[in-house]
Structure formats: C-alpha cells, structure tokens
C-alpha cells in the first residue's frame, strides 16, 4: 500500500493504489471519507464510502487485476468524483437482480447514491467513476 497523495490534475484530488483484495475496500472508504472531510464535504462521506466499496468489490469479483487505484477528485465546487481504475477492459453492466438474488446490486446501489456514473475505457483498462453533487446550501 502506498500513502495517499494529492493528484497532479487540474482539480484537487487524492489517489491511492491498493492490492486487489477485500480488505482494500475498507481502506478505500477511509481515503474517500478523509478527502471529503478535508474539502468540508463530509455530508457526502457516507455515500462516497459506499460507492467506492461497491466499485472496488466489482473489480475484485469481475477482474483478475492485482491492484486497483482509487481517485477522489473535486472537479467543481458543487461535485466530487470517485473513480476506480483497473487494467481490465471489460465494461461494467448494471444487473437487475430479482428479490431472491444475493448479489448483483453493486451498480444499482452506485446508481442510486450518485448523481451520475459511468466509465472511460482506455487501451490499458478502464476507470469506473461516480459523481456526487453537493446539497444546495441556504
């Protein structure tokens, strides 16, 4: 595991690489929570932590990747983006599980918690991302 470090993109951000194992979902949740609290967007921390855990669990379950990178960026004053990078080019597909299914709800949950989500395919793999919008403050 490497230490989280600020990203070198135009938007403020943090990135960390984890071993592709279930324990990494917990550490990624901590990274997301810390980043969101640093940006004083802690009200998004619970949803952000759940989103990153689901995205990492999908990577663990559906790829043979040895590592996974988490990106947490603040592209606009009103939004936060959480991304999970892996070297598999297969794209995520949202299942519609029936009530008795024990799995297949990860992306359904990501879709429900985020304002939007998607992926960017690259020649070396993909980035699956989800955005959270800041609540309107009065």
Per-residue pLDDT tens digits for 7-56:
444 667 999 999 999 999 999 999 999 999 999 998 999 999 999 999 99
Angle at 45 between CA 15 and CA 29, to 5 degrees: 50
Closest by CA position to 61, among listed 120, 115, 128: 128
Burial-class residue 39 by CB neighbours within 10 Å (0-12, 13-18, 19+): middle
Give the global pTM. 0.86
Residue 57 CB contacts under 8 Å (≥ 6 apart), including other chains = 22, 25, 106
Write down the pLDDT at residue 85. 97
Q: What is the CATH code of the structural domain delimited by 5-92+104-133?
A: 3.30.565.10
Q: What SS3 state is found at 90?
A: coil
Per-residue pLDDT tens digits for 99-135:
655 555 789 999 999 999 999 999 999 999 999 998 8
Q: How far apart are CA 40 and CA 132, in angstroms?
A: 14
Q: Are strands 125-133 and 79-86 parallel, antiparallel or unpaired?
A: antiparallel
Q: How far apart are CA 41 and CA 12, in angstroms?
A: 13
Query: Any idea where the domains of the chain sit in the sequence?
Result: 5-92+104-133
Q: Are strands 116-122 and 125-133 parallel, antiparallel or unpaired?
A: antiparallel
Q: Which residues pair with 120 in a beta bridge?
A: 127
């Amino acid at each position: 595991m490497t230490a989280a470090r600020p990203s070198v993109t135009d938007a403020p951000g943090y990135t960390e690489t984890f071993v592709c194992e279930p324990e990494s979902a917990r550490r990624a949740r901590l990274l997301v929570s810390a980043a969101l609290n640093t940006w004083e967007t802690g009200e998004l921390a619970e949803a952000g932590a759940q989103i990153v855990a689901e995205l990492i669990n999908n990577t663990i379950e559906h790829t043979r990747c040895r590592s996974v990178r988490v990106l947490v960026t603040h592209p606009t004053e009103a939004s936060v983006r959480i991304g999970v990078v892996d070297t598999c080019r297969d794209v995520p597909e949202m299942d519609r599980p029936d009530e008795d299914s024990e799995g297949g709800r990860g992306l359904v949950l990501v879709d429900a918690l985020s304002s939007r989500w998607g992926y960017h395919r690259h020649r070396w793999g993909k980035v699956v991302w989800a955005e959270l919008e800041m609540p309107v403050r009065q």
